[in-house]
Homo-oligomer: A and B are copies of this chain.
Protein backbone atom coordinates (compact mmCIF):
# COMPACT_ATOMS: atom_id res chain seq x y z
CA UNK A 1 0.00 0.00 0.00
CA UNK A 2 1.57 3.21 -1.22
CA UNK A 3 -0.42 5.54 1.01
CA UNK A 4 1.87 8.11 2.58
CA UNK A 5 1.25 8.80 6.25
CA UNK A 6 2.25 12.44 5.75
CA UNK A 7 -0.66 13.10 3.41
CA UNK A 8 -3.55 14.95 4.93
CA UNK A 9 -6.13 13.55 2.54
CA UNK A 10 -9.07 12.26 4.56
CA UNK A 11 -8.84 8.48 4.57
CA UNK A 12 -10.50 5.69 6.45
CA UNK A 13 -9.34 2.27 7.56
CA UNK A 14 -11.66 -0.54 6.53
CA UNK A 15 -12.42 -2.86 9.41
CA UNK A 16 -14.49 -5.30 7.32
CA UNK A 17 -13.12 -7.96 4.89
CA UNK A 18 -10.34 -5.84 3.41
CA UNK A 19 -8.79 -4.84 6.71
CA UNK A 20 -5.44 -3.03 6.54
CA UNK A 21 -6.50 -1.33 3.33
CA UNK A 22 -6.62 2.46 3.41
CA UNK A 23 -9.26 3.95 1.14
CA UNK A 24 -10.42 7.39 0.06
CA UNK A 25 -12.87 8.79 2.56
CA UNK A 26 -16.23 8.63 0.85
CA UNK A 27 -19.79 9.58 1.76
CA UNK A 28 -22.67 7.52 0.36
CA UNK A 29 -25.25 9.33 -1.75
CA UNK A 30 -28.98 8.58 -2.06
CA UNK A 31 -28.54 6.83 -5.38
CA UNK A 32 -26.23 3.97 -4.41
CA UNK A 33 -23.10 5.94 -5.21
CA UNK A 34 -20.22 7.49 -3.28
CA UNK A 35 -18.82 11.01 -3.09
CA UNK A 36 -15.22 11.91 -2.38
CA UNK A 37 -14.32 15.47 -1.48
CA UNK A 38 -10.55 15.73 -1.84
CA UNK A 39 -9.34 18.70 0.16
CA UNK A 40 -5.63 18.48 0.86
CA UNK A 41 -2.72 18.04 -1.48
CA UNK A 42 -1.00 14.69 -1.75
CA UNK A 43 1.49 12.81 -3.85
CA UNK A 44 0.05 11.87 -7.21
CA UNK A 45 1.17 8.20 -7.04
CA UNK A 46 -0.24 7.82 -3.55
CA UNK A 47 -3.53 9.24 -4.77
CA UNK A 48 -3.72 6.82 -7.69
CA UNK A 49 -3.08 3.82 -5.41
CA UNK A 50 -5.76 4.97 -3.01
CA UNK A 51 -8.20 5.60 -5.84
CA UNK A 52 -7.63 2.15 -7.37
CA UNK A 53 -8.04 0.34 -4.05
CA UNK A 54 -11.15 2.37 -3.30
CA UNK A 55 -12.78 1.57 -6.63
CA UNK A 56 -12.02 -2.13 -6.18
CA UNK A 57 -13.74 -1.97 -2.81
CA UNK A 58 -16.73 0.04 -4.06
CA UNK A 59 -17.19 -2.37 -6.95
CA UNK A 60 -17.35 -5.27 -4.46
CA UNK A 61 -19.90 -3.32 -2.46
CA UNK A 62 -22.09 -2.85 -5.54
CA UNK A 63 -21.68 0.94 -5.60
CA UNK A 64 -22.79 2.75 -8.76
CA UNK A 65 -21.61 6.31 -9.42
CA UNK A 66 -18.33 7.58 -7.97
CA UNK A 67 -18.03 11.37 -7.62
CA UNK A 68 -14.66 13.00 -7.06
CA UNK A 69 -14.53 16.71 -6.32
CA UNK A 70 -11.10 18.24 -6.89
CA UNK A 71 -10.51 21.83 -5.74
CA UNK A 72 -8.61 23.94 -8.28
CA UNK A 73 -5.46 23.90 -6.15
CA UNK A 74 -5.34 20.12 -6.74
CA UNK A 75 -5.37 20.49 -10.54
CA UNK A 76 -2.41 18.10 -10.58
CA UNK A 77 -4.82 15.25 -9.72
CA UNK A 78 -7.10 15.87 -12.71
CA UNK A 79 -5.00 13.97 -15.23
CA UNK A 80 -4.47 10.86 -13.03
CA UNK A 81 -8.20 10.75 -12.25
CA UNK A 82 -9.07 10.89 -15.96
CA UNK A 83 -6.52 8.14 -16.65
CA UNK A 84 -8.42 5.91 -14.19
CA UNK A 85 -11.49 6.19 -16.42
CA UNK A 86 -13.30 9.19 -14.92
CA UNK A 87 -15.03 11.80 -17.05
CA UNK A 88 -15.82 15.42 -16.22
CA UNK A 89 -19.29 16.15 -14.83
CA UNK A 90 -19.22 19.89 -14.15
CA UNK A 91 -16.97 22.65 -12.89
CA UNK A 92 -17.30 25.90 -10.98
CA UNK A 93 -14.60 28.57 -10.55
CA UNK A 94 -12.85 26.72 -7.76
CA UNK A 95 -13.43 23.03 -8.37
CA UNK A 96 -13.86 20.29 -10.95
CA UNK A 97 -16.26 17.38 -10.42
CA UNK A 98 -15.33 14.08 -12.04
CA UNK A 99 -17.50 11.00 -12.21
CA UNK A 100 -17.12 7.28 -12.86
CA UNK A 101 -19.95 4.77 -13.35
CA UNK A 102 -19.02 1.35 -11.97
CA UNK A 103 -21.88 -1.00 -13.10
CA UNK A 104 -22.25 -2.58 -16.52
CA UNK A 105 -25.75 -1.08 -16.79
CA UNK A 106 -26.32 2.28 -18.54
CA UNK A 107 -25.30 5.31 -16.48
CA UNK A 108 -28.18 7.12 -14.72
CA UNK A 109 -26.07 10.00 -13.42
CA UNK A 110 -27.89 13.34 -13.13
CA UNK A 111 -27.40 15.87 -15.90
CA UNK A 112 -25.30 19.00 -15.59
CA UNK A 113 -27.09 22.34 -15.30
CA UNK A 114 -28.31 23.32 -18.75
CA UNK A 115 -29.83 26.79 -18.46
CA UNK A 116 -28.96 30.32 -17.47
CA UNK A 117 -31.87 32.45 -16.20
CA UNK A 118 -32.37 36.03 -17.32
CA UNK A 119 -34.97 38.62 -16.38
CA UNK A 120 -36.44 41.70 -18.02
CA UNK A 121 -38.25 44.17 -15.74
CA UNK A 122 -41.42 45.95 -16.85
CA UNK A 123 -41.75 48.67 -14.21
CA UNK A 124 -44.83 50.80 -14.78
CA UNK A 125 -46.21 53.57 -12.57
CA UNK A 126 -49.76 54.84 -12.07
CA UNK A 127 -49.29 57.37 -14.89
CA UNK A 128 -48.61 54.44 -17.25
CA UNK A 129 -44.98 55.47 -17.58
CA UNK A 130 -42.44 52.70 -17.93
CA UNK A 131 -38.88 52.67 -16.55
CA UNK A 132 -36.44 52.39 -19.48
CA UNK A 133 -32.68 52.47 -19.90
CA UNK A 134 -30.03 52.78 -22.59
CA UNK A 135 -27.09 50.43 -22.11
CA UNK A 136 -23.41 51.27 -22.51
CA UNK A 137 -22.64 47.80 -23.90
CA UNK A 138 -24.41 44.96 -25.61
CA UNK A 139 -26.51 44.59 -28.73
CA UNK A 140 -28.32 47.94 -28.39
CA UNK A 141 -25.24 50.06 -27.66
CA UNK A 142 -25.44 53.43 -29.42
CA UNK A 143 -28.70 52.55 -31.16
CA UNK A 144 -30.96 55.02 -29.37
CA UNK A 145 -33.11 52.15 -28.15
CA UNK A 146 -34.88 52.50 -24.80
CA UNK A 147 -35.32 49.10 -23.21
CA UNK A 148 -36.35 47.45 -19.94
CA UNK A 149 -33.69 46.87 -17.30
CA UNK A 150 -32.44 43.31 -17.81
CA UNK A 151 -30.01 41.00 -16.13
CA UNK A 152 -29.01 37.50 -15.14
CA UNK A 153 -30.25 35.79 -11.97
CA UNK A 154 -27.42 34.95 -9.60
CA UNK A 155 -26.83 31.35 -8.60
CA UNK A 156 -29.48 30.48 -6.00
CA UNK A 157 -31.51 33.67 -6.57
CA UNK A 158 -35.30 33.65 -7.00
CA UNK A 159 -36.56 35.06 -10.30
CA UNK A 160 -38.85 37.52 -8.51
CA UNK A 161 -35.95 38.79 -6.38
CA UNK A 162 -33.50 38.98 -9.28
CA UNK A 163 -35.87 41.37 -11.08
CA UNK A 164 -36.11 43.66 -8.05
CA UNK A 165 -32.31 43.61 -7.60
CA UNK A 166 -31.54 44.41 -11.25
CA UNK A 167 -33.91 47.40 -11.29
CA UNK A 168 -32.39 48.69 -8.06
CA UNK A 169 -28.82 48.25 -9.36
CA UNK A 170 -29.42 49.90 -12.73
CA UNK A 171 -31.74 52.75 -11.73
CA UNK A 172 -31.91 52.89 -7.90
CA UNK A 173 -35.70 52.51 -8.13
CA UNK A 174 -37.32 50.37 -5.39
CA UNK A 175 -39.98 47.99 -6.61
CA UNK A 176 -42.27 45.16 -5.59
CA UNK A 177 -42.87 42.09 -7.71
CA UNK A 178 -46.27 41.74 -9.41
CA UNK A 179 -46.22 38.94 -12.00
CA UNK A 180 -44.27 37.04 -14.61
CA UNK A 181 -45.98 38.12 -17.83
CA UNK A 182 -44.20 35.78 -20.25
CA UNK A 183 -41.01 33.85 -20.73
CA UNK A 184 -38.98 32.39 -23.56
CA UNK A 185 -36.50 29.56 -23.89
CA UNK A 186 -33.59 30.04 -26.29
CA UNK A 187 -30.98 27.40 -27.11
CA UNK A 188 -27.30 27.58 -27.97
CA UNK A 189 -26.88 30.90 -26.21
CA UNK A 190 -23.51 30.01 -24.69
CA UNK A 191 -21.37 26.92 -25.31
CA UNK A 192 -24.37 24.70 -26.02
CA UNK A 193 -26.35 25.94 -23.03
CA UNK A 194 -29.87 27.41 -23.13
CA UNK A 195 -31.42 30.47 -21.58
CA UNK A 196 -34.80 31.04 -19.93
CA UNK A 197 -35.74 34.72 -20.01
CA UNK A 198 -38.60 35.88 -17.78
CA UNK A 199 -40.44 39.17 -18.36
CA UNK A 200 -41.46 40.38 -14.91
CA UNK A 201 -43.91 43.14 -14.05
CA UNK A 202 -42.91 45.25 -11.05
CA UNK A 203 -44.64 48.09 -9.25
CA UNK A 204 -42.37 51.07 -8.44
CA UNK A 205 -42.12 52.13 -4.79
CA UNK A 206 -39.98 55.19 -5.56
CA UNK A 207 -39.66 57.55 -8.51
CA UNK A 208 -36.27 59.31 -8.45
CA UNK A 209 -33.88 57.64 -10.88
CA UNK A 210 -30.20 57.46 -10.02
CA UNK A 211 -28.59 55.48 -12.81
CA UNK A 212 -25.68 53.10 -12.44
CA UNK A 213 -22.68 54.57 -14.28
CA UNK A 214 -20.80 51.46 -15.30
CA UNK A 215 -23.50 49.80 -17.42
CA UNK A 216 -26.22 52.40 -18.03
CA UNK A 217 -25.90 55.30 -20.45
CA UNK A 218 -29.28 56.84 -19.60
CA UNK A 219 -32.50 56.03 -17.75
CA UNK A 220 -35.93 57.65 -17.66
CA UNK A 221 -39.68 57.22 -17.22
CA UNK A 222 -41.34 57.03 -20.64
CA UNK A 223 -45.06 56.95 -21.60
CA UNK A 224 -45.81 53.33 -22.41
CA UNK A 225 -47.24 54.13 -25.86
CA UNK A 226 -43.94 55.83 -26.73
CA UNK A 227 -41.99 52.79 -25.52
CA UNK A 228 -44.12 50.43 -27.60
CA UNK A 229 -43.89 52.61 -30.71
CA UNK A 230 -40.08 52.34 -30.95
CA UNK A 231 -39.06 50.80 -34.31
CA UNK A 232 -37.27 47.78 -32.74
CA UNK A 233 -40.45 46.89 -30.85
CA UNK A 234 -42.39 46.87 -34.10
CA UNK A 235 -39.73 45.18 -36.22
CA UNK A 236 -38.94 42.06 -34.20
CA UNK A 237 -41.68 39.50 -33.60
CA UNK A 238 -40.62 38.64 -30.04
CA UNK A 239 -40.19 42.29 -28.93
CA UNK A 240 -43.52 43.21 -30.49
CA UNK A 241 -45.22 40.39 -28.62
CA UNK A 242 -43.75 41.45 -25.28
CA UNK A 243 -44.58 45.11 -25.91
CA UNK A 244 -48.16 44.12 -26.73
CA UNK A 245 -48.47 42.06 -23.54
CA UNK A 246 -47.10 44.93 -21.44
CA UNK A 247 -49.45 47.42 -23.09
CA UNK A 248 -52.45 45.21 -22.25
CA UNK A 249 -51.17 44.65 -18.75
CA UNK A 250 -50.92 48.42 -18.24
CA UNK A 251 -54.63 48.52 -19.16
CA UNK A 252 -55.35 45.65 -16.71
CA UNK A 253 -56.28 43.34 -19.56
CA UNK A 254 -53.78 40.57 -19.00
CA UNK A 255 -53.05 38.02 -16.27
CA UNK A 256 -49.62 36.50 -15.81
CA UNK A 257 -48.20 34.19 -13.17
CA UNK A 258 -47.92 35.39 -9.55
CA UNK A 259 -45.06 34.31 -7.28
CA UNK A 260 -46.27 32.31 -4.29
CA UNK A 261 -43.85 31.03 -1.60
CA UNK A 262 -44.62 27.40 -0.93
CA UNK A 263 -43.14 24.42 0.92
CA UNK A 264 -42.18 21.43 -1.19
CA UNK A 265 -42.61 17.82 -0.02
CA UNK A 266 -39.03 17.96 1.27
CA UNK A 267 -40.01 21.00 3.36
CA UNK A 268 -37.82 23.35 1.28
CA UNK A 269 -39.33 26.81 0.72
CA UNK A 270 -39.47 27.88 -2.89
CA UNK A 271 -41.54 30.06 -5.17
CA UNK A 272 -44.27 28.62 -7.34
CA UNK A 273 -45.52 30.73 -10.24
CA UNK A 274 -49.06 30.34 -11.57
CA UNK A 275 -52.27 32.20 -12.51
CA UNK A 276 -53.20 32.96 -8.91
CA UNK A 277 -55.71 35.67 -9.76
CA UNK A 278 -57.86 33.26 -11.73
CA UNK A 279 -57.38 30.45 -9.21
CA UNK A 280 -58.73 32.66 -6.43
CA UNK A 281 -61.60 34.02 -8.48
CA UNK A 282 -64.12 31.13 -8.57
CA UNK A 283 -66.43 33.01 -10.90
CA UNK A 284 -63.87 33.71 -13.63
CA UNK A 285 -64.51 32.29 -17.07
Q: A residues bordering B, Cβ < 8 Å?
A: 72, 75-76, 78-79, 81-83, 87-97, 110-117, 139, 152-156, 158-159, 181-188, 190-194, 196, 232, 236-239, 241, 244-245, 248, 252-257, 260, 262-265, 268, 270-275, 278-279, 282, 284-285
- What's the nearest-Cβ distance from chain B to residue A31, in Å? 8
- Asked, given contacts A111-B155, A113-B116, A262-B237, whether A254 binds B278 with beta carbons under 8 Å apart, the answer is yes
Whether A272 pairs with B87 at a CB distance below 8 angstroms is no
Question: In the complex, what residues of B have CB within 8 A of residue A116's CB?
Answer: 110-111, 113-115
Whether A252 pairs with B285 at a CB distance below 8 angstroms is yes
Question: In the complex, what residues of B have CB within 8 A of residue A253's CB?
Answer: 278, 282, 284-285
A181 to B278, CA, bound (A): 12
Please name the residue on chain B nearest to A285 by beta carbon: B253
A94 to B89, CA, bound (A): 9
- What's the nearest-Cβ distance from chain B to residue A8, in Å? 19
Whether B270 pairs with A186 at a CB distance below 8 angstroms is yes
Please name the residue on chain B nearest to A261 by beta carbon: B237
Whether B97 pairs with A92 at a CB distance below 8 angstroms is no
- Asked, given contacts A88-B92, A91-B89, A279-B244, whether A115 binds B115 with beta carbons under 8 Å apart, the answer is yes
A285 to B275, CA, bound (A): 14
- Asked, given contacts A96-B88, A239-B265, A265-B238, whether A270 binds B184 with beta carbons under 8 Å apart, the answer is yes
A27 to B239, CA, bound (A): 31
Other than A88-B96, A183-B273, A257-B257, give 10 A-B pairs with Cβ distance below 8 A.
Answer: A72-B82, A87-B93, A112-B113, A113-B116, A115-B116, A183-B272, A184-B271, A184-B272, A187-B270, A236-B263
A285 to B14, CA, bound (A): 69
A232 to B266, CA, bound (A): 12
Question: In the complex, what residues of B have CB within 8 A of residue A194's CB?
Answer: 117, 155-156
A18 to B140, CA, bound (A): 35
A-B pairs with beta carbons under 8 Å apart, 23 shown: A72-B88, A76-B79, A78-B79, A87-B93, A88-B95, A91-B96, A92-B192, A97-B191, A111-B116, A111-B152, A112-B113, A114-B153, A115-B116, A182-B257, A185-B273, A236-B265, A238-B263, A241-B272, A244-B279, A245-B279, A253-B282, A253-B284, A254-B279
